[in-house]
Amino acid sequence: MQTITTVAELRRTLAKAGSADQRVGFVPTMGYLHDGHLALIVASRAQCEVTVVSIFVNPTQFGPNEDLSTYPRDFLRDEKLCRDAGVAILFAPDAQEVYPTQFETFVEPGELAKPLCGAFRSGHFRGVATVVCKLFNMVQPDVVFFGQKDFQQCAVVRRMAIDLNLPIEVATVPTVREPDGLAMSSRNRYLSEEERRRALAISRGLFAAADAFRSGERNVEKLIAIAKGHLEAVDRLQYLELVDGDTLKTAESPLRCSAALCAAAYVGSTRLIDNVILDLPTP
């Protein structure tokens, strides 16, 4: 595995893959890797000859009162995990490499960025879309891999790739969970043992609604109520919404298309997100 820190070196190295007509897979991350990230790497290696992983804690997607300065970092551990997982290139630029002096051009996402997390994290998806677009241009992959846990992010990035004519396939990999159901996240390390137990309320609520859906429930309000009934253990429920899987607009009863039940909640001072996909049976 090569660890690369500059765009110039990255392009020189990847030019060899291009000349050999090798398929390039890309896994963009902010580091502090866990099994969810490793599942993305596995998916990339199964589909592509060359897998690139980036580690960059992107400052433009954090709000003024969010956890940029304390976001967990352990580069040496991440580097070893990537090497052991068979990554070909680990790209780890610094902030100056990504946002050079006098940088002023941003990607402004549209309607998909407004609901759910976008309603509470002003500018978040602007920062996400900008850094992802820049990374796409740096790596120029054939396929990029994201986790389903970041459902809205996947939708925003997929729309951006289509709208900007980026020749990249956006692949979504199912959420990887702890044995007890908690969605894996780098922020889980912030949770105390007691908070970790209470955080399980999020996945339990979503799973309960998914079970009701599989049993035939199609009323949006009832499905949300079922999930909400399990969420009293969290300290603050930021949102719990059932949205159209494509447009992210509020789903209507009775459900006639695939939908996503999405939640964001604070447990202690830690903000956690999760979702389940409610797929209608194929006729």
Catalytic residue numbers?
A: 37
Q: What is the CB-side half-sphere exposure of residue 98 using CA atoms within 13 A?
A: 24
Q: Determine how β-strand 2-4 pairs with β-strand 259-267.
A: unpaired
Distance CA 152, CA 167 (A): 21
Distance CA 153, CA 155 (A): 5
Please give the full DSSP string across the chain, using - where no structure is assigned.
Answer: -EEE--HHHHHHHHHHHHHTT--EEEEEE-SS--HHHHHHHHHHHHH-SEEEEEE---GGGS-TTSSTTTS---HHHHHHHHHHTT-SEEE---HHHHS-TT--------GGGSSGGGGTSTTHHHHHHHHHHHHHHHH--SEEEEEGGGHHHHHHHHHHHHHTT---EEEEEPPPB-TTSPBP-GGGGG--HHHHHHHHHHHHHHHHHHHHHHTT---HHHHHHHHHTTGGGSSEEEEEEEEETTT-PBP-SSP-S-EEEEEEEEETTEEEEEEEEEPPPP-
